[in-house]
Chain A
Amino acid sequence: MFSRLVFVGLVFAGLALWPLVAGAYGLDLVIKIMIAAIFALSLELLVGATGLVCFGQAAFFGIGAYAAALLMARFDGAALWWLLPAAVLCAGLYALAVGALSLRTRGVYFIMVTLAFAQMAYYVVHDTPLGGGTDGIYLPGVPTAPLDLGKPLVFYGLTLASLALVFGVLGLLLRSPFGRALAGIKANEQRMRATGFSTYPYKLAAFAVSGAIAGLAGFLFAVKDGFVNPELLAWHQSGSVLIMIILGGLGHLRGALIGAFALALLEEFFKSEAVWGSFAKHWHLGLGLTIILSAALLPKGLVGIPQLWRDRLEARGE
C-alpha cells in the first residue's frame, strides 16, 4: 500500500517537474498522455472497479469535446468556469441515459449495446448538421480564464491539476462505501443482490461518473487541439482506451496511468525513424507484437510486474 502511494507520488512529482526540463514538444507530448490518462481512468472506473466493460467510452469523450466546440461557437468569450462543467455535464447526462438503457443487458451483450449507443452519437455528429460537418470544426479560441489557456505551461497546469483531481477523487471514491459496493458488484453481483443490495443504482452512478470524467478528458482535448472531428467518437477510440487499461493492468487506478503512458511511449518508440529507419512505417508490427507478448506474459498487465518479480525472487529463495 505504502509503495503504491510512493509510486503515485513520484509520478505526480515527475509530472509537476517535467516542464522544467521539457521543450515545447515534450510539454505537448505529456499533455497528450495526461489527457489520455484521464480518459483511461474514466474507463477504469467501469471496467476495473465495477466489472462493466464499456465499449462506447469514446462517445462521452467526444461529447465533451464537441460541447466545448459548439458552446464556444455559440457564446463569444466563453469562460472556463462554466464551460468546463457544462461539457462534463453533457457527457455525464448522455452516459446516464446510455447506462439506464444498457444496464438491462449483461456480459458481451452489454459491451455491444454500449458500442451501439456510441455509434449513434458518432452518426449524429458525423451525419447531421449539429456536428458541423465530417471534416470537423474549429474552436474559435481558448476559453477565457484568469490565466491565458493559450500558453502551453498554463494549459499543462490545468491538465495536471485535472489529472490529479480525477485520480484523487477516484481513489477516495473507491475506498468509500460506494467503491466497496462496486467492488462487490464486480466480484459477484448475484451474491450482492441476494443479500438484498440494490446494485442497479450503483452501476448507473458509476456509469454517469465515468462518462463525466471521459467528458472532462474530451473537453481538455478539444481546447488543446483547437479542433474537433467526428472520428473522436469512432469505435477505434473506444478500443484504444480499452487496450490502454488492459495493458496497464485492470483493477488498479495506477494501471490506467501506466497504460496511457506505456501505449503512447510504445507508439513513439516504434514510429521513431531514429531507431528503425525506413522500417518505421511498419510500426504497427512492432506494436502488435509487443501487445501480444504483453498479453501472453503479463496476465495482470504492466502493473503486475513488481508482483511477478517478487514471486520470482521468492521462488528463487526457496
Chain B
Amino acid sequence: MKLATLALAALALATGADAQTKLKVGLMLPATGTYAALGTAIDNGFKLFVTEQGGRIAGREIEYVRVDDESDPAKATDNVNKLIKRDNVDVIVGTVHSGVAMAMAKAAKDSGTLLIVPNAGADAVTGPMCAPNIFRSSFSNWQPGYAMGEVVAKKGHKKVVTITWKYAAGDESVRGFKEAFEKGGGTVVKELNLPFPNVEFQALLTEIAATKPDAVYTFFAGGGAVKFVKDYAAAGLKKNIPLYGAGFITDGTLEAQGADAAGLFTTLHYADSLNTPRDNAFRLSYAKTYKLQPDVYAVQGYDAAQILAIGLAAVKGDVSKKAEFAAAVEKAKIDSPRGPFTLSKSHNPVQDFYLREVSGKENKLVGVASKALADPGKGCRM
C-alpha cells in the first residue's frame, strides 16, 4: 500500500505537478486614477468566469495577485516586473491604458510570460509587438473606427469631419474610420484634434459648424466623452449634423449624458441589448454577483479568462507549453457574451461590430455594422 501511494505521488510529481499547484494570475489594472472604474469592471468580469468554473481552470486553482498600474507608463515596467519577478505569476492580465500595455508587451515578450490584454487598444500590441504569448480579448483602436466608416459611407454621407484627442488611440481610431469611409466613397474634409486631456471643445465645435459637414465622427472616452456629447448637443449641432462615434463615447457614460446622447449611433463589439441566451446568462450572473450592470470592459475581462481557459485546457494546465497554448487559442472559437469570436494570426479578436443606437439608458442593438472584422495586424511578424 505504502509503495503504491509513493509511486502515485512520484507519478504526480513527474507528470503534471503543475496540475496540483495553484495558477498565479497577475492582474495589472488601474485601481486609482481616471480609469479605475474600467479596471474594476475588467477585474469583475475575469473573476466571474473563474467563479463560474468553480475557481479552477484546467484543474488548477486560480490565485490572484493585483498590482495597481495607476495608468502610468513611467511605472509600467517596474509594476509588470513586480508580477513577473517578485510574484512569479504564470499569466499577466492587463491593462486599460495603451502606454502601460506597451511596456507590458515588451516585458512579456522578453520574459516569455503569458499576457492577455483585456482592453488597451494600441494597434502595436497585435502589430509590431505581437508575440506567440501575447493575446488580446478586446479590440484594436482601428476596428471600431473602420466599422463606423463603413456605416457612415453606407448612409450616404459624403463630407465628414473627425474630431478626437491628439494621441495614439484617437489617431488610430480616425485612421480606421478614414480607411473605410474613403473606400466607401466619402471624404474626410477636416481632421480636428485637441491636446489630451483638454476638454474645452467649444472652439472646435464652432469650427465644425463653420465647415458644415454631412456628419461628424468622433473618438473620446471617459469624462471627455461625457462632456463632448453634452457640449455637442448644447451647441445645437446634434440636430443639424449627425454625430457618429466609436462606442466608447456612449459606454458607461449614458447616465451622465442623459438626453444629450439620445439617438446617437456608435459601433462597438458589444451592445446592451444583444438578447442572446449567452449574453443574458452573463448579464444575469454579473448583476447577481456585483449588483451592477456589466459593460464592454467586463465582457473583455470575462473573455480574457475564457482565452486562458481554452489554452490551459489544451496544455493540461502546463503554461510552459507556449506553442501548444497559442495553437489551441488560435484555432478556438470563444463563446463570448458579445457573440462568438476568434483570434486573428496576430492574436487580436476577429469579431462582429454592432451598430448601436442610444435609447433611454441603453446602447440598443440596431444591426451588425461589420461582420467578423479583423485588424490587419500591420507589422506583426509571427
Residues of A within 8 A of B (CB): 23-25, 28-29, 32, 123, 126-127, 133-136, 138, 224-227, 229, 231-232, 234, 236-237, 271, 273, 280-284
Binds A, one of B5-13, B69-77, B153-161: B69-77
Cβ of B355 < 8 Å from any Cβ of A? no
CB-based nearest A residue for B125: A135
Interface size counted on chain B using CB atoms at 8 A: 30
Chain B residue with Cβ nearest A227: B103
Would you call B78 an interface residue if the criterion is a C-beta within 8 Å of the partner chain's C-beta atoms?
yes
Expressed in whole angstroms, the minimum distance between the Cβ of A130 and any Cβ of chain B is 14
B74 touches A229 (CB 8 A): yes
Residues of A within 8 A of B122 (CB): 135
Contact B78 A32 (CB under 8 A): yes
Residue from the list A29, A123, A273, A281 in contact with B65, Cβ < 8 A: A273
Nearest-neighbour CB distance to chain A for B229, whole angstroms, equals 23
Distance, CA A133 to CA B31, complexed state (A):
26
The answer to whether B308 has its CB under 8 Å from any CB of chain A is no
Contact A134 B81, CB 8 Å, known A227-B106, A229-B102, A281-B66: no
**Chain A residues with CB under 8 A of B85:** 23-25, 28
A14: min CB distance to chain B, Å: 20
Closest to A28 in B: B81
* B73–A136 touching, CB < 8 Å: yes
The reply to whether A134 and B196 form a contact with Cβ atoms under 8 Å apart is: yes
| Chain B residues close to A by CB (< 8 Å) | 31-32, 65-68, 72-74, 76-78, 81-82, 85-86, 98-99, 102-103, 106, 110, 122, 124, 129, 166-168, 195-196
Q: Given A227-B103, A271-B67, A281-B66, list of 13 further CB < 8 A pairs?
A: A25-B86, A133-B168, A134-B166, A135-B122, A135-B124, A226-B110, A227-B77, A229-B73, A229-B99, A231-B72, A273-B65, A280-B66, A284-B32
Jot down 28 A-B pairs with beta carbons below 8 A, ordered by A.
A23-B85, A25-B85, A28-B78, A28-B82, A123-B195, A134-B167, A134-B168, A135-B98, A135-B102, A135-B122, A135-B124, A135-B168, A136-B103, A138-B106, A227-B76, A227-B102, A227-B103, A229-B73, A229-B74, A229-B102, A231-B72, A231-B73, A231-B99, A232-B74, A234-B74, A271-B67, A283-B31, A283-B68
Smallest CB gap from B195: residue in A = A127
A28-B78, A127-B195, A224-B77 in contact; A136/B166 too (CB < 8 A)?
Answer: no
Chain B residues within 8 Å of A127, by CB: 166, 195
User: Which residue of chain B has the shortest Cβ distance to A27 in the bound complex?
Assistant: B85
What CA separation (Å) do A236 and B34 show in the bound complex?
15
Most chain A CB inside 10 Å of its own CB: which residue of B72, B74, B99? B74
The interface residues of chain A lying within 8 Å CB-to-CB of B73 are 136, 227, 229, 231-232
Of B103, B122, B124, chain A has the most CB atoms within 10 Å of the CB of: B103
Inter-chain contacts of A283 with B (CB < 8 A): 31-32, 68
Closest Cβ of chain B to A275, distance in Å, is: 13
Query: How far is B167's CA from A123's CA once the two chains are assembled, in angstroms?
Result: 11
CB A176 to nearest CB in B, in angstroms, measures 34
B310 to chain A, nearest CB (A): 28
Closest to B87 in A: A25
Nearest-neighbor residue (CB-CB) of A32 within chain B? B78
Q: Is the CB of B78 within 8 A of A273?
A: no
B41 CB → nearest A CB, Å: 14
Taking a contact as CB atoms closer than 8 A, the residue among B32, B82, B99 that contacts A134 in the complex is: B99
Q: Which residue in B67, B86, B103, B166 is a CB contact (below 8 Å) of A229?
A: B103
A232-B74, A281-B32 are contacts. A225–B68 as well, Cβ < 8 Å? Answer: no
